[in-house]
Amino acid sequence: MRKHAVVLTLTLLELLALGLLAFFWLVMRPDLLDTYGIADLGDARSAALPTMTRFVLTTSLVPLVGAVGAALFASAWVLRRGVNVRNRLLGAALVWTVLGLTWVVWAAYAPAFERL
């Protein structure tokens, strides 16, 4: 029963992480673009932002992280090589997605916390 609990836990956590990535891309990113004034190319606030913040908000990095995590997740369920391989692929997908999400959120909100 423990093997099924591990697979279920990894699956639910990966789905949650992918959902949070989608939430960041669809809801939080447009709000941050407006807040930081990145859409206005001549805005002085946009020029003062760190390079990583502009990179995270203006490129398709978030969908790329989500796509790689989803591909690892799907391959874990499609490949029938055994429980150990499935657990390792699900774990790799979860680590990739959560680390990517953490880095993206950190880079996006770094200007807000740099002067605290």
Q: How confident is the model at residue 115 (pLDDT cuts 50, 70, 90)?
A: low
Nearest 5°: the CA angle 31, 17, 104 is 45
Q: Which of 96, 111, 89 is CA-nearest to residue 33?
A: 111
Q: What is the pLDDT of residue 43?
A: 58
Range of the domain at 31: 2-113
Structural domain count, the chain:
1
Question: pTM of the entire structure?
Answer: 0.86
Average pLDDT over residues 81-96: 89
